[in-house]
Structure 1
């Protein structure tokens, strides 16, 4: 059994990012994942400008290696399609030049991106990676450490601080962190990979379609290398239950019959089964730490309520978790009161943006209002810039605190 100061459960973007930041700070860390990489993760596969910024914080060489990978394609923004069909193009970088600028975003399968981060972690002597180890039991010992065991009872490690980044189905987050599935703050989704989809953006804009008969859900199309695309739908779990929606059937129906989609998918081929997943949304502020532990990423329910994007928020939480785990050890204080400062740091960075996304999500219940906002955006510099900033590493907090900002957001202005 390993006795360590810091253990991380989950080697996805949040856990791997935390491990890499800890290694940069000279901390030894044990990183455990139940999977063996490369492994698939059901996701939209899009990486906004905020992901680019977090990669840059890990080191410019890390970002350079990703940009050089054949597994990714550069993406320059998002196309929103309102219920009335109006397209709102939101670049990740205003006034970009795709021919000369560094990519402002990427699309890469999670199979490849998560493996990329794990390979970065493998290069660090400070990080010990255990793959194929499923931690099922978490015991708080008398001396204030976490004892971690497999389902069979085998003791794997004990740790002073535990960083929990093992996803939306985290047993620790449920059993210790008190997480429950809240249908009004949870999204159900399905996705599949296709090839031969026509009409994709030449600059690889990802697409979010808000189709009137499918609200408050949305359909996405994310272009991928080699002529492939990630295609799926998501809807609040509360609405799925209330409307008795079969997401797999609805996805097939919309691709076959919707006027904006049927021709584009007429000769496309589905390459994989349609697979389902759940997204715990950050539309509600929750405690994300406790005695000797920090919750990261999906385990902390930090997914964007409007777009479903979770990679950047997982990486942001990973960076802050590394910081506060290091501070806790330096202070010899892993109490819940001390680690609560991690919550404050994460929500200071993400809280206002999550609230704005929740506000936009709620617009989906009112198609006429959503159409109004989309129609205004084309001639509304404030709204267009705000939507763009949501996908960059830009600080919106001060702007969002100004009451006059919301008037400009709806009715125009600069």
Structure 2
């Protein structure tokens, strides 16, 4: 097997983004995935405005390609349903015009979106892409890593390993020390339904915060062909403490909740209900070490409030490509140098992750959550803040200004 400067484990949004940015910089890399694409990935399937911004950074034509793809629907906002039943509709862009404006978000099955990125990967000669390669273990060497099969055969070796193989990454757990912490991990279920009633004509995604299901939440995201991605999420700590059967609760809510039962009376589930775990970015963890970088879900970068992970994976992929290139130039793969990658990722994401952690904690206090929802209906600053959590507007600058918090609490 040939020795490579850079190997990437996982061809999801984080790994594919890193490979494409490396290709743009003229840097060859080896990209490995144990699946064959297209392949399914359990997810909420929402693509925020931040995803579009990251696509544009790869190639300015990609957002238009995505918008023209038949596998997606354009989404124009979010409907938040508070525990008291109040609905707060937050458009991604105030006073949007569907005829002239570019949609700020999309919804697409991960089967299709991940393959959309992989098709870009296949076009790039700088990227050696190998599917159906199951890296069972890794072994430290004097100058990097060996990637081994189940029977101990060497599959590849490299000087720098970019680990983007998802939430269940064995490397992240065993080498990087990312232990599963129930207070920073979300358990989720996802199912596809057809013929759900009263979906938004503007494809607003729905987040339902239901009184007797808090601090969990339920989502309904519209998809092409009359389908919807429907699921529930709750902190693993709460699931264990309250002995919650998420599968049972999902069925109960859809059958009995006043805002949902009529809409799902004639709906048909397409395929099984599938479960997944989300390592949340509610705690700052190390994203690098000797000769490696962690990307996306493998780096525990999922938004604690919305559960969004795709854009954060792509942000980390972009920064990983930058610092991988610098490490190659300087021949420096030390933990001290690669810490620049951690700093770059958290400089972009940490304040938003902290705000999302605060919003997540509101779910433990239904009356306070209701107050926030009621305030947001009358408070443009708060409504805009909720929408900005899903966009690529620079929320960080606002978070640094004390006056922002006064307007957030007391209105403009």
TM-score, length-scaled by structure 1 = 0.98
Deviation at 1:62, TM superposition (A): 1.8
Give distance in 1, aligned partners of 2:397 and 2:70. 39
Q: In structure 2, what is the equivalent of residue 374 of structure 1?
A: 373
Where 2:43 maps in the other structure, the secondary structure is coil
Give distance in 1, aligned partners of 2:253 and 2:36. 36
Higher alpha-carbon deviation: 18-27 or 132-141: 132-141
Give distance in 1, aligned partners of 2:113 and 2:21. 17
Q: In structure 1, what is the equivalent of residue 16 of structure 2?
A: 16
Higher alpha-carbon deviation: 381-390 or 251-260: 381-390
Deviation at 1:386, TM superposition (A): 1.2
Deviation at 1:399, TM superposition (A): 1.6
Instruction: Output aligned runs, 1:331-410, within 5 Å.
Output: 331-410=330-409
Deviation at 1:151, TM superposition (A): 1.4
Q: In structure 2, what is the equivalent of residue 207 of structure 1?
A: 206
Q: In structure 2, what is the equivalent of residue 67 of structure 1?
A: 67
Q: In structure 1, what is the equivalent of residue 127 of structure 2?
A: 127
Where 1:161 maps in the other structure, the secondary structure is strand
Q: Does 1:137 align with 2:145?
A: no
Report if aligned partners of 2:6, 2:162 keep a CA contact under 8 Å in 1: yes
Give distance in 1, aligned partners of 2:387 and 2:231. 23
Report if aligned partners of 2:178, 2:285 keep a CA contact under 8 Å in 1: no
Change in 2 beyond 3 A, CA 1:2/1:95:
farther
Q: After superposition, give the CA deviation of every residue in 1:343-386 in whole Å (9 maximum; x if it has no partner).
A: 00000000000000000000000000000000000111211111
Q: In structure 2, what is the equivalent of residue 148 of structure 1?
A: 147
Count of residue correspondences: 412
Instruction: Output aligned runs, 1:163-174, within 5 Å.
Output: 163-174=162-173
Deviation at 1:404, TM superposition (A): 3.3
Report if aligned partners of 1:94, 1:388 keep a CA contact under 8 Å in 2: no
Q: After superposition, give the CA deviation of every residue in 1:142-180 in whole Å (9 maximum; x if it has no partner).
A: 2x2111111111101111111000000011111111111
Deviation at 1:2, TM superposition (A): 2.3
Report if aligned partners of 1:399, 1:405 keep a CA contact under 8 Å in 2: yes
Give distance in 1, aligned partners of 2:174 and 2:90. 40
Give distance in 1, aligned partners of 2:12 and 2:302. 14
Give distance in 2, aligned partners of 1:350 and 1:203. 28
Q: In structure 2, what is the equivalent of residue 300 of structure 1?
A: 299
Deviation at 1:94, TM superposition (A): 2.4
Q: After superposition, give the CA deviation of every residue in 1:16-64 in whole Å (9 maximum; x if it has no partner).
A: 0000000000000100001111110000000010001111111122222
Aligned-CA RMSD value: 0.9
Q: In structure 2, what is the equivalent of residue 31 of structure 1?
A: 31
Q: Does 1:274 align with 2:273?
A: yes
Report if aligned partners of 1:78, 1:90 keep a CA contact under 8 Å in 2: yes
Q: After superposition, give the CA deviation of every residue in 1:63-84 in whole Å (9 maximum; x if it has no partner).
A: 2221111101111111111101
Deviation at 1:402, TM superposition (A): 2.4
Give distance in 2, aligned partners of 1:337 and 1:23. 25
Where 1:267 maps in the other structure, the secondary structure is coil
Give distance in 1, aligned partners of 2:63 and 2:151. 40
The runs of 5 or more residues in structure 1 that have no matched partner are none
Q: In structure 2, what is the equivalent of residue 329 of structure 1?
A: 328
Higher alpha-carbon deviation: 155-164 or 57-66: 57-66
Give distance in 1, aligned partners of 2:194 and 2:227. 4
Where 1:135 maps in the other structure, the secondary structure is coil
Deviation at 1:91, TM superposition (A): 1.8
TM-score, length-scaled by structure 2 = 0.99
The runs of 5 or more residues in structure 2 that have no matched partner are none
Q: Does 1:219 align with 2:218?
A: yes
Q: In structure 2, what is the equivalent of residue 117 of structure 1?
A: 117
Give distance in 1, aligned partners of 2:387 and 2:191. 27
